[in-house]
């Protein structure tokens, strides 16, 4: 039922006025808190359009950043600011509804690739029912909460259900069905039988992935996730008639039966290259002669792999990976890792003695076994595309963050995989307890060797052997000068992308002490600098005194949107944003702030519309409120002082204006207007001289809440309660416009105004070495990352300096292209000029060992596109034939070395030159 905006109907048909906005907010927040306190599997949540929900949040005055941490594009929503937002209409979820129709009744699906906090929000069932009773609308998208995880269980709302394509073998008709991935095979049978009106005792359902009978889905309590069923994959229904299964599937055009591919052996008997198995499924032995057994016994049609179909003598390592639904991020990372020479060499040999099933931080060896099995298939001869379903199933179990069907980050996947493989293959069965010691002035080599010895005593695996290096980290206390030096292991280098290009930014500076008029300043700052760089440049431009500071803020819809601390990334500021800075005395730091916003009417508004036309205008003013001014008169005095720079140089007779109500707009446009007698030497009038019968009438000031509503007029009896910010609104009438020049409070200029014609320049390029320099640069810790100084016994904002002490044989470089902040998610497409050959890092190493620090590139993980709809691919080199290949999911093709350096490079994989481990040859893995 659709509820009209003017009210809603109760069940008995009685008309009722809408619930007040404040009550709606209170009810929803209470129900949400109650639901969060009672999390359990099976709880029901509803998917609601973020577009509609944002309108509702504005109407009730709720913080609309609580879901995403990302500032919404309010302009695109076409809604009014908080205090004037209209009551939204019926719930409208049409913008998140898929246009694709499916055949399962009247089921409506969500659009793919929706992002929580940007496209939708999740509300508990009780909240949805309340919203629906107030507004009506829909359609409804109920979703259950499920429990995911291995080491640590996490509650997750299953937004996207598993959709399967059912083929009825009797007539080859097709139907779509949707279930939870936590649904059992029994539930699948029940739903299919109900849909096709067949007896459950007379049917068989097959895993029909890639249109092949892979395995019979036996009716049991195993979940569909455990059966490795993927989004949009096929399943096959066979129905028994007179004791015979009626099926047209698996026949050629002449209705002759086609040979079925052999089923994969059960997981319990999975072997390492065909070796004998123990009861736990681990191989007890492996020999060179057994490699041929692997090629013939590990046939896995479920994975799209059939060793019998491989071409003899064809080089291994050139198989593609099928995309199982937005799994290109996983495919890209896996192809880089399975082309890492020492990793390949290790997993093609017998590694069963390293499997650590008792490690509480590991996955009982299952992740390592699944990865090893996948690697062997990829390195067997032939180019048959592999569908990594079994591996993805293990990944979803041990890393729920990668479950589901949305796009993820290849670097995050790689980090989890390396760490998980290490724990599964950790040769240390019982980790000793070791207490780290302070350097205490000891030589760096002694401290570093001791730290590495302690690390190896607890962590010893192939991953540590070839992928881990060591940092030297130096912290210095800014107060007492205490120096702390530690040596820590690392798995990869995450390098920032510094910009060699500057950026011009325009900021309006306000003199809130009454000493000057607002003035815009355009300054040049580093493109990827921080707020402190902008504040420093502004301070020089405006002649900031040593006893003053600048308070930087962003203005949106004539209100303060946010204050910017010294460490805020300037990339979070768009060119069309509005920035202001307030000159404040340093002695006021830490005191209460007074925010002054403005209400005024455009001239010519009829008296009958004045109440509705009132809105925020102009630019807010901010100052510190001294303790002795925490009262009504004190606020009036402070506001009057803030407005002093806006006083007109000379005034016409206010008395005449009040008596005759004449429009003095033309006179006010000239700051040197003359008196009625024509005397051009008219003296500037004091405010007390403006009226014959007393001083200037008092400003119309009101205290308001954070939304700018609940006005409380300020009088001499007003008392200010404790708090960080006092919010005040000034009502501008014709009188205030007569006394003050409000043009200086109009919208400030944009941060950067693009010119109509912009000269095209070549894309910005930086070197990998400049990224390293930025990474190793000394810098202060952020305010949220303070260091506890053992000398001061307090947390300090210490300076930190990183140095490279020990580098691994395999060096993974992560180019930090994605930046995330409270208000912005961004991707940098900067071209990084990285060496392919002879990457020499010796000048960055602080130790004095005799290792080679020359590296060769052998793989790249690429990311194309933006944050929402990007795509991952990989480049990898087969060293045996000295050729590069492009791995784009299933498609594998040769590529010239000159073409692999692009602005899409995201992860770089380097191998140390003269490393003792070589690339595995095709003969080692071919049949």
Q: Which residues are catalytic?
A: 328, 871
- Sign of the four-CA dihedral 747, 749, 754, 756: positive
Q: What is the DSSP secondary structure assignment for residue 708, as one 8-state letter?
A: S
The encoded tokens of residue 572 equal 């979070």
Phi, psi of 148 (to 5 degrees): -125, 160
Identify the CA nearest to 768 among candidates 709, 814, 700, 705: 814
Sign of CA dihedral 47, 49, 55, 61: positive
- Which parts of 37-170 fold into alpha helices (H)? 50-60, 74-77, 125-135
Beta carbons of 398 and 404 less than 8 angstroms apart = no
Radius of gyration of the chain (CA): 34
> 778 vs 358, 478, 495, CA distance in Å?
41, 13, 14
Q: Which two tokens stand for residue 760?
A: 């095209």
- Classify residue 874 by burial, with Cβ atoms within 10 Å: 0-12, 13-18, 19+: buried
Q: Please answer whether residues 276 and 284 qualify as being in contact, where contact means their C-beta atoms are separated by less than 8 angstroms.
A: yes
Beta bridge partners of 818: 827
Sheet holding 578-585, edge to edge: 519-526, 502-511, 578-585, 548-556, 559-563
Report the SS3 class of residue 876.
strand
Q: What is the DSSP string of 603-631?
A: TT--GGGHHHH--EEEEEEEEE--GGG-B
Point out which residues pair with 503 in neighbouring strands.
525
CB 126 within 8 A of CB 34: yes
Exposed / middle / buried, residue 23 (Cβ in 10 Å: 0-12, 13-18, 19+): exposed
Distances (CA, A) of 241 to 201, 238, 246: 11, 10, 7
Q: What are phi and psi of 186, to 5 degrees?
A: -60, -45
Determine the Cα–Cα distance for residues 920 and 317; give it in Å rounded to an integer: 10
Instruction: Say which residues have a Cβ less than 8 Å from residue 661's Cβ, sequence separation at least 6.
Output: none
- 107/141 Cα distance (integer angstroms): 10
- Residue 316 has a CB neighbour count (10 Å cut-off) of 25
Max Cα separation, the chain?
A: 116
Rounded Cα distance between 506 and 525, Å, is 11
Q: Give the whole-angstrom CA distance, residue 471 versus residue 907.
A: 20
CA distance 277 to 283: 5
> Is there a contact between 52 and 43 (Cβ–Cβ < 8 Å)?
no
> What is the distance between the alpha carbons of residues 714 and 631, in angstroms, rounded to a whole number?
9
Residue 343 parent element (H or E): helix 341-347
Q: How many Å apart are CA 415 and CA 463, to the nearest integer?
A: 11
């Amino acid at each position: 039922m659709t509820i009209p905006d003017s009210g809603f109907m109760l069940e008995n048909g009685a008309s009722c006025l809408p619930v007040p906005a404040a009550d709606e907010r209170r009810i929803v927040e209470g129900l949400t808190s109650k639901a969060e306190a009672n999390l359990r599997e099976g709880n029901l949540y509803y998917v609601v359009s973020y577009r509609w929900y944002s309108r509702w949040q504005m109407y009730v005055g709720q913080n609309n950043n609580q879901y995403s941490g990302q500032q919404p594009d309010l302009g695109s929503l076409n809604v009014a600011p908080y205090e004037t937002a209209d009551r939204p209409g019926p719930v409208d979820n049409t913008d998140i509804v898929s246009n694709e129709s499916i055949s399962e009744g009247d089921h409506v699906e969500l659009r793919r690739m929706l992002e929580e906090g940007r496209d939708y929000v999740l509300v508990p069932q009780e909240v949805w029912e309340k919203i629906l009773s107030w507004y009506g609308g829909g359609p409804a998208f109920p979703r259950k909460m499920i429990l995911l995880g291995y080491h640590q269980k996490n509650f997750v709302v299953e937004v996207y259900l598993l959709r399967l394509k059912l083929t009825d073998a009797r007539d080859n008709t097709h139907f779509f069905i949707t279930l939870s991935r936590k649904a059992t095979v029994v539930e699948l049978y029940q739903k299919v039988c109900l849909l096709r009106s067949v007896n459950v005792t007379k049917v068989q359902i097959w895993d029909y992935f890639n249109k092949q009978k892979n395995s019979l889905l036996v009716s049991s309590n195993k979940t569909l996730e455990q059966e490795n069923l993927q989004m949009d994959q096929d399943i096959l229904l066979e129905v028994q008639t007179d004791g015979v299964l009626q099926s047209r599937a698996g026949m050629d055009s002449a209705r002759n039966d086609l040979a079925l591919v052999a089923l994969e052996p059960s997981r319990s008997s999975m072997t390492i290259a065909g070796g004998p198995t123990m009861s736990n499924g681990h191989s007890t032995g492996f020999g060179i002669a057994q490699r041929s057994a692997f090629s013939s016994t590990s046939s896995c049609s479920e994975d799209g792999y059939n060793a019998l179909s491989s071409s003899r003598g064809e080089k291994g390592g050139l198989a593609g990976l099928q995309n199982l639904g937005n799994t290109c991020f996983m495919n890209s990372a896996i192809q880089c890792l399975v082309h890492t020479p020492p990793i390949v060499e290790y997993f093609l040999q017998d590694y069963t003695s390293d499997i650590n099933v008792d490690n509480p931080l590991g996955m009982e060896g299952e992740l390592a076994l699944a990865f090893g099995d996948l690697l062997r298939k990829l390195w067997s001869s032939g180019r048959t595309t592999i569908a990594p379903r079994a591996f993805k199933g293990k990944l979803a179990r041990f890393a729920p963050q990668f479950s589901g069907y949305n796009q993820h980050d290849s670097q995050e996947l790689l980090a989890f995989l390396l760490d998980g493989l290490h724990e599964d293959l950790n040769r240390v069965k019982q980790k000793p307890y070791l207490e780290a010691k302070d350097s205490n002035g000891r030589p760096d080599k002694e401290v570093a060797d001791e730290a590495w010895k302690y690390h190896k005593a607890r962590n010893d695996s192939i991953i540590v052997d070839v992928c881990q290096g060591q940092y030297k980290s130096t912290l210095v206390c800014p107060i007492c000068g205490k120096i702390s030096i530690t040596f820590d292991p690392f798995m990869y280098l995450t390098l920032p992308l510094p910009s060699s290009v500057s950026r011009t930014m325009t900021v309006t500076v306000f003199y809130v002490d009454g000493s000057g008029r607002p003035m815009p300043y355009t300054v040049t700052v580093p493109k990827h600098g921080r707020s402190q760089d902008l504040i420093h440049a502004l301070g020089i431009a405006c002649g900031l005194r040593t006893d003053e500071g600048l308070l930087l803020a962003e203005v949106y819809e004539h209100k303060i949107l946010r204050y910017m601390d010294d460490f805020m990334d300037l990339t979070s500021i768009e060119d069309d944003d509005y920035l202001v800075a307030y000159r404040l005395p340093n002695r006021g730091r830490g005191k209460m702030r007074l925010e002054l916003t403005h209400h005024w009417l455009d001239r010519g508004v009829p008296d009958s519309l004045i109440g509705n036309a009132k809105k925020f205008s102009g630019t807010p003013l901010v100052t510190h409120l001294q303790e002795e001014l925490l009262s009504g008169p004190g606020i009036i005095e402070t506001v009057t002082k803030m407005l002093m720079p806006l006083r007109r140089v000379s005034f016409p007779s206010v008395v005449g204006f009040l008596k005759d109500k004449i429009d003095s707009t033309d006179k006010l446009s000239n700051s040197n207007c003359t008196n009625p007698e024509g005397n051009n030497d008219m003296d500037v009038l004091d405010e007390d001289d403006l009226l014959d019968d007393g001083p200037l009438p008092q400003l119309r000031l009101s205290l308001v809440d954070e939304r700018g509503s609940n006005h409380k007029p300020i009088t001499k009896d007003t008392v200010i309660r404790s708090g960080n910010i006092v919010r005040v609104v000034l009502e501008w009438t014709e009188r205030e416009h007569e006394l003050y020049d409000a043009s200086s409070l109009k919208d400030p200029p944009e941060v950067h105004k693009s010119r109509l014609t912009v000269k095209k320049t070549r894309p910005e390029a930086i070197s990998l070495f400049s990224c390293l320099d930025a990474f190793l640069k000394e810098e202060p810790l952020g305010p949220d990352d303070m260091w506890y100084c053992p000398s001061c016994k307090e947390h300090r904002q210490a300076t930190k300096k990183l140095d490279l002490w020990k580098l691994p044989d395999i060096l993974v470089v992560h180019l930090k292209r994605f930046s995330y902040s409270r208000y912005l998610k961004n991707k940098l497409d900067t071209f990084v000029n990285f060496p392919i050959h002879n990457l020499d890092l010796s000048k960055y190493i602080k130790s004095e060992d005799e290792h080679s620090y020359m590296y060769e590139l052998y793989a790249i993980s690429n990311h194309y596109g933006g944050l929402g709809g990007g795509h991952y691919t990989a480049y990898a080199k087969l060293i045996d034939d000295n050729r590069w290949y492009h791995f784009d999911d299933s498609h594998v093709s040769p590529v010239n070395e000159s073409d692999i350096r692009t602005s899409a490079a995201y992860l770089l994989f380097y191998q140390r030159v003269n490393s003792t481990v070589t690339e595995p040859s095709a003969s080692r893995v071919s049949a």
